């Protein structure tokens, strides 16, 4: 026996690790006891997402078709028999092709032992077979309407993701190896991380995605120089300092979503769309929405339109003296911008000469995965939840978006933070994602009911905002419509629908990647790609025809947008200094509103 190797082998003391975990568990009893007293947990117990009703309806439908259920069980049994045969062949030293393999990009099974160790390979394949069988069986339930079927599929996948073997100590080779090598210290650290996140969430698990002290707006993110030149209860307007001697005559106003901070467009200097646009000679203004508290509970969607978008347009006009400008709307900020353009069209206000939309839905007939959270019962529960404070806490939306990509945004951090006992890495995008904002009750409920539930924004005259009926077919300026191919929040087929609403020329562009990375893709990184269809420029046809005729271009779409917007931005004029016009500077960018945190 090699004594040196024996001495080097870690000695795992199970009793010591167990006693330490029990100590930590006892320390958490007070947290859990307090959590059970909160109204939010009572509401959760009452199934605010209406999952129970969906599952009950599916179970009743399955009872009426026992033959289909029997066939599904037979199929599952046959696949497991194939797996046993494959494993047996492999154990006897014979080559055997896997019965089930992870999908491309599935990072749960990236540890080599999932493939090289026969036991873990069997666990992995058994899970993949069973989870895919479960999802497929539920998706085949007949007699359900499309909305219920989508909700059933979504929550079935959530259930399947939760029970992945990678989420448990004894069935994850990486975690098991770390537990043995560290004598259980990883689990002790993980439980401390778990306790910290429970305390931070006041009894609810608020998982940490990145080091909260690693970034600070104005210090190492949101650092493009500029001044706040206007503010009201809802927004600060930031004008960024020029870096060129001359700028285009028409300024550029950006309306970001109010459910996040604006600095997604101004992260680090290398990733900043704002900085890049300034360097191209645009006078850039950005709306920085306030993080509302109960004092703004009465603010409505109409207020966000009139005091927000239209208030910002007025301020840009005063700050520059320009009578025309270009605008950008991102996500829900783009939805608000579309409504504002409809309002301005009804009033005959022509100060906006072109509009760009990033990942924006205006037709919500097929709104993507978020629709599973929106039905009448869920909205009633949500409204009651907001009743006391008058706003939706930012953590609620943070959790909702994490559910849309549970493996990437929840379970991977669950394994890293709590099972491996590691601290999350510092990542600017994840810091921004966790910097959640609140939403006034009346504004949020109007948006969900009128847009998602009733799809009234695309119905001429169905909504009255700013004192006028909204009709998007009256919007006739040139439109740049950007969608992302892998966007789960604003799916590109849904974004594309807007191309048939506006009566002006539309340039539809499809970017690679998702809701954030597809938009924030600077040319210097050389990542992803985008597609355009020059043959349908200005008059976009059906989506299938557009896709068939589209041409792929490597890298960022930003230069394509610049080439589209520059000719519409007027002649060059001397660069404008923030605060030198009619509106004096109030404070340095990024301003105080963006620094207001929810917790």
Using one digit for the tens of pLDDT, what is the confidence trace for 507-517? 999 999 999 99
The superfamily (CATH) of domain 231-391+438-595 is Alpha/Beta hydrolase fold, catalytic domain (3.40.50.1820)
Top pLDDT among 119 and 539 is at 119
Cα separation, 4 vs 9, in Å, equals: 9
Cα separation, 82 vs 531, in Å, equals: 42
Residue 230: what pLDDT?
98
Q: Give Rg (Cα) of the chain.
A: 27
Q: Which residues pair with 483 in a beta bridge?
A: 510
Top pLDDT among 94 and 258 is at 258
Q: Is 281 left (phi over 0), alpha (psi -120 to 50) or beta?
A: left
* Contacts of 299-303 spanning 24+ positions with Cβ under 8 A: 299/233, 299/234, 299/440, 299/442, 299/443, 300/440, 300/442, 300/443, 300/446, 301/336, 301/339, 301/442, 301/443, 301/446, 301/447, 301/450, 301/465, 302/465, 302/466, 303/234, 303/443
Cα separation, 146 vs 159, in Å, equals: 20
What digits encode the pLDDT tens for the residues 90-107? 888 888 889 999 998 899
Task: Give CA separation, 241 vs 162, 228, 261, 565, in Å.
Answer: 48, 11, 20, 20
Residue 563: what pLDDT?
98
Torsion of CA 404, 409, 412, 417, to 10 degrees: -140
Q: Token match 């954030």: residue?
A: 516
Cα separation, 138 vs 308, in Å, equals: 44
Torsion of CA 217, 218, 223, 225, to 10 degrees: 140
Average pLDDT over residues 139-149: 81
- As annotated, the active-site residues are 331
Residues with Cβ < 8 Å from 510, sequence gap 6 or more?
Answer: 482, 483, 484, 485, 492, 530, 531, 532, 550
CA 552, distance to chain mean position in Å, is 25
Residue 50: what pLDDT?
62
Residue 394: what pLDDT?
76
Task: Give CA separation, 400 vs 60, 175, 404, 410, in Å.
Answer: 28, 27, 7, 11
pLDDT over 50 at 23, yes or no:
no
Q: Give me 364's structure tokens.
A: 């919500």
User: Predicted confidence band at 80 (pLDDT cuts at 50, 70, 90)?
Assistant: confident
| Selection from 573, 556, 571, 574 nearest residue 517 by Cα | 556
Q: Give me 439's structure tokens.
A: 């939403």
Cα separation, 243 vs 578, in Å, equals: 12
Residue 39: what pLDDT?
40
pTM comes to 0.86
Residues with Cβ < 8 Å from 79, sequence gap 6 or more?
Answer: 99, 100, 129, 133
User: Predicted confidence band at 385 (pLDDT cuts at 50, 70, 90)?
Assistant: confident
Q: Give me 89's structure tokens.
A: 């062949």
Cα separation, 480 vs 373, in Å, equals: 30
Cα separation, 217 vs 236, in Å, equals: 15
Q: Taking the domains of the chain in order of start, what are their residue ranges?
A: 10-185, 231-391+438-595
Residues with Cβ < 8 Å from 318, sequence gap 6 or more?
Answer: 230, 581, 582, 583
Task: Give CA separation, 558 vs 60, 111, 315, 477, in Å.
Answer: 51, 37, 27, 20
Q: Give me 195's structure tokens.
A: 């306790």
Q: Token match 């493939």: residue?
A: 115
Residue 202: what pLDDT?
76
Top pLDDT among 586 and 53 is at 586
Cα separation, 172 vs 166, in Å, equals: 5
Residue 436: what pLDDT?
83
The pLDDT mean for the chain works out to 87
Top pLDDT among 5 and 480 is at 480
Cα separation, 280 vs 247, in Å, equals: 8
User: Predicted confidence band at 122 (pLDDT cuts at 50, 70, 90)?
Assistant: very high
Cα separation, 130 vs 9, in Å, equals: 37
Judge contact between 161 and 411, C-beta under 8 A. Answer: yes
Q: Which residues pair with 530 in a beta bridge?
A: 511, 553
User: Predicted confidence band at 27 (pLDDT cuts at 50, 70, 90)?
Assistant: very low
What digits encode the pLDDT tens for the residues 152-200? 888 888 889 999 999 999 999 999 999 999 999 999 999 999 999 888 8
Task: State the distance between the two ends of the chain, measured CA to CA, in whole angstroms.
Answer: 58
State how beta strands 252-255 and 235-240 pair. unpaired
Top pLDDT among 396 and 325 is at 325
User: Predicted confidence band at 319 (pLDDT cuts at 50, 70, 90)?
Assistant: very high
User: Predicted confidence band at 279 (pLDDT cuts at 50, 70, 90)?
Assistant: very high
Q: Which residues pair with 531 in a beta bridge?
A: 510, 552
Q: Please count the other Cβ atoms lying within 10 Å of the Cβ belonging to residue 418.
A: 24
> Helix, strand, or coil here: 508?
strand
Average pLDDT over residues 290-298: 94
Q: Which 3-state string (H, E, C) describes 108-122?
A: HHCCCHHHHCHHHHH
Judge contact between 300 and 339, C-beta under 8 A. Answer: no
CA 588, distance to chain mean position in Å, is 29
> Helix, strand, or coil here: 440?
strand
Residue 21: what pLDDT?
43
Residue 599: what pLDDT?
65
Extended strands (E) in 243-317 = 246-248, 252-255, 284-289
Residues in the chain: 599
DSSP assignment of 550-579 equals -EEEES-SHHHHHHHHGGGS-SEEEPPPTT
Q: Which residues pair with 255 in a beta bridge?
A: 329
pLDDT over 90 at 307, yes or no:
yes
Top pLDDT among 86 and 563 is at 563
User: Predicted confidence band at 40 (pLDDT cuts at 50, 70, 90)?
Assistant: very low
Average pLDDT over residues 457-467: 97
> Helix, strand, or coil here: 38?
coil
Cα separation, 428 vs 372, in Å, equals: 29
pLDDT over 90 at 7, yes or no:
no
Average pLDDT over residues 106-114: 94
Judge contact between 501 and 472, C-beta under 8 A. Answer: yes
Residue 49: what pLDDT?
59
Segment holding 494, helix H or strand E: helix 492-496
Residue 11: what pLDDT?
46
> Helix, strand, or coil here: 267?
coil
Cα separation, 52 vs 395, in Å, equals: 23
């Amino acid at each position: 026996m090699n004594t040196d190797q024996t001495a080097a082998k870690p000695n795992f003391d199970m009793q010591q690790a167990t006693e330490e975990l029990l100590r930590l568990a006892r320390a958490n009893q007070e947290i859990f006891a307090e959590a059970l007293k909160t109204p939010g947990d009572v509401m959760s117990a009452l199934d605010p997402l209406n999952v129970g009703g969906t599952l009950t309806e599916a179970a009743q439908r399955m009872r009426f078709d026992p033959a289909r259920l029997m066939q599904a069980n037979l199929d599952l049994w046959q696949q497991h028999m194939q797996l046993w045969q494959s494993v047996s062949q492999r154990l006897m030293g014979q080559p055997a092709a896997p019965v089930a393999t992870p999908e491309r990009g599935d990072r749960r099974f990236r540890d080599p032992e999932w493939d090289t160790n026969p036991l873990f390979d069997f666990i992995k394949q058994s899970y993949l077979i069973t989870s895919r069988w479960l999802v497929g069986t539920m998706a085949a339930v007949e007699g359900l309407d499309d909305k219920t079927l989508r909700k059933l599929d979504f929550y079935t996948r959530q259930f399947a993701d939760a029970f992945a073997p990678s989420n448990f100590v004894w069935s994850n080779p990486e975690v098991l190896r770390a537990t043995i090598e560290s004598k259980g210290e990883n689990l002790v650290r993980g439980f401390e991380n778990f306790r910290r996140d429970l305390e931070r969430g006041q009894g609810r698990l608020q998982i940490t995605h990145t080091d909260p002290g690693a970034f600070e707006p104005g210090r190492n993110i949101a650092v493009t120089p500029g001044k706040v030149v206007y503010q009201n209860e809802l927004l600060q307007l930031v004008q960024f300092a020029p870096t060129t001697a001359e700028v285009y005559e028409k300024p550029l106003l950006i309306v970001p979503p109010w459910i996040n901070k604006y600095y997604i467009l101004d992260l680090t200097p290398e990733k900043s769309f704002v900085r890049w646009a300034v360097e191209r000679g645009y006078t850039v203004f950005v709306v920085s929405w306030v993080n509302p508290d109960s004092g703004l509970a009465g603010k409505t969607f109409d207020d966000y339109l009139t005091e927000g978008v239209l208030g910002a347009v007025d301020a840009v006009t005063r700050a520059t003296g320009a009578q025309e400008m270009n605008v950008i709307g991102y996500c829900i900020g783009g939805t608000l911008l579309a409504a504002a353009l409809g309002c301005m069209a009804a009033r005959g206000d022509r100060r906006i000469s072109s509009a760009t939309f990033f990942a924006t839905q205006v037709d919500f007939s097929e709104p993507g995965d978020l629709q599973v959270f929106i039905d009448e019962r869920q909205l009633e529960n949500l409204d009651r939840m907001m009743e006391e404070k008058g706003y939706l806490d930012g953590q609620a939306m943070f959790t909702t978006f994490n559910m849309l990509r549970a493996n990437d945004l929840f379970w991977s951090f669950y394994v890293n933070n709590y099972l491996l006992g590691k601290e999350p890495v510092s990542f600017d995008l994840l810091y921004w994602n966790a910097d959640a904002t609140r939403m006034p009750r009346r504004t949020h409920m109007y948006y969900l009911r009128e847009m998602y539930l009733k799809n009234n924004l695309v119905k001429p005259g169905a909504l009255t905002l700013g004192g006028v009926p909204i009709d998007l077919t009256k919007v006739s300026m040139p439109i740049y419509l950007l969608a992302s191919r892998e966007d789960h929040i604003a799916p590109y087929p849904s974004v594309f629908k807007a191309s048939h609403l506006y009566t002006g020329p539309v340039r539809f562009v499809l970017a690679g990647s998702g809701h954030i990375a597809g938009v924030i893709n600077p040319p210097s990184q050389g990542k992803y790609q985008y597609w355009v269809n020059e043959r349908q420029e200005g008059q976009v046809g059906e989506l299938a025809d557009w896709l068939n005729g589209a041409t792929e271009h490597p890298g960022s779409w930003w230069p394509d947008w610049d080439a589209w917007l520059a000719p519409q931005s007027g002649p060059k004029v001397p660069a404008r200094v923030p605060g030198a016009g009619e509106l004096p500077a109030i404070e340095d960018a990024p301003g105080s509103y963006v620094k207001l945190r929810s917790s």
